[in-house]
Structure 1
C-alpha cells in the first residue's frame, strides 16, 4: 500500500490536483480582491464600472476560467519539472549502458518508481560488467543483448519524454488532455521498467551455467505454485480467468526458489496475456520415480510448428499468432529455459487438444520423500 501511495501515477495525480487547487485559490483570491476593490473604490459612472458590467454580461465564471485554466497548467508544469530531470538522467544512464560504459551510475533521489528504475540500471551495469569480465557471455550474444535491449529501452523512453514535453510546453491543454498524456507517460514508463528488469535478469542468469551451491535450498514445488497463484490473483481476477490446479504434495527439489518462481510466473503470465480465457488455465504437478513434472496448459490458437523449436531462443517472438498491446522482447521464455537447465531440468512446449502445453521437468529430491 505504501509503495502504491508513493508511486509515479499517484504522485502525478497528486501534483495535478494540487495544481488545480492552487490555481483555484489564486483565482478566487483575485476575484475577492477585485470584488473588495470595486465595493470601496469604484462608483457608478466610473470607467472601471464599465468593465464590471462587461464581466457580468459575459459571466464571472467564464471570465475567471480564462485565468484559472492557464494558471493551473503553468503550476502543473512547474510542479512536474523534477520528473523531466529524472527522465533525462535515466536516458543518460541507458546511453552509457548501450555504449558499454558500466562505470556510470544513475543518480535519482525519489521514493517512487524512478528510484527503482535507477537502481535496476545500476544493477544491470554491475551485472553486465561482471559477466563480461568473467567471460560468461560470448562476444556475439553480449553484443546482441546490449544492442537489442538498448534499442527497445529507448523507444518507450522517447515516448515518455515526448508526452512530458507536451505537458510542459503546451499551455492550452485542457485538464482532460493533461490526464490522458499523464496516463500514457505512466504506461510507457511501466514498460520501460519491465525492460530494465528483464535486462537485469538476463545478465544475472548468464553469469554462470551451473547453479551456485550457496543458493541451493530444499523447495516444495506444491507450496511454491500455490503461493504464486495466490500472489497473481489480482491479475487473474482482472483478466476474469479461472485456474484449475491439480498439485500433488511432497514435490521437493533442490535449487533457488526465487529463480524457479520466475519460471512459473512467466508461464502463467503468458497464459493470462495470450490465452483464450473463456476456458480455465490448467496447472498440473506430479512426481515420477525420479522427477517432478509441472504442466501448465491454456486454450488458444496453436503455435506454428515452425515456431515451436525456436520458442525458447533469445529474442525470438511469435508475431503471427500473438496480438499484443506491448512490444515483445523475446526474452521471457529464454530466461525460463536458462533457469530450468541450471536446475538440471528441462522445459518443452507442444500443441494438443485445442490447448498449448508447457511442461517443466525438475529432478526430485529423494531425501525428502
Structure 2
C-alpha cells in the first residue's frame, strides 16, 4: 500500500520560505522591480495567512476528523456495540490506525458471535445430558416405588425389579463415562 505524502513540507515551502526571502531582501534594500518594503511585507503576510488557513484546513481534514471518528468508534465499543463500521479514507498514519482499529472491531465482533454460539451449544448439551440422565432415573424411581408399595410381591418379580434398577444405574454410569471422555 502506497502511503499518502504529507502536505506539511509543501505548505512550508510555499508559504514560509518565500516570505522569509522577501523579508530578507526588504531589509537589504535589494527588492527587485522597485516594490516598496511595506508592500513586500504585506503580501508576504498575506501569503503566510493563506498558507496557515490552508494548513489548518488540512490538519482538520486529515487529522482531527479521523480522530473524532476513531473516538466515536471507541465509545461505541465501550458501550458494547460492535455493529458499526469505521469508514477510513486516508492512507496517513492516522488512517492506518483507524484501519487497524476497524480490524480489531471485526475480530471482537467475530469473537463475541463465537462465544454466543458456544454458550448456546453448551446450553443445548446440558439440556440433552439432563434428559438422558433423567430417563433412567425416572425408571429407577418407578421400580423402587413399586418395591415399596408391594407391587413386586413374589421373589421373581422382586429380582426382576432389582435387575432393572441395576441395569438403569449401569446405563447412567455409561452415560457419565461418555461425558468424561
TM (norm. structure 2) is 0.44
Which one has a larger percent strand, Structure 1 or Structure 2? 1
Greater relative CO (CA pairs within 8 A, separation 6+): 2
TM (norm. structure 1) is 0.24
Query: Greater CA radius of gyration, 1 or 2?
Result: 2
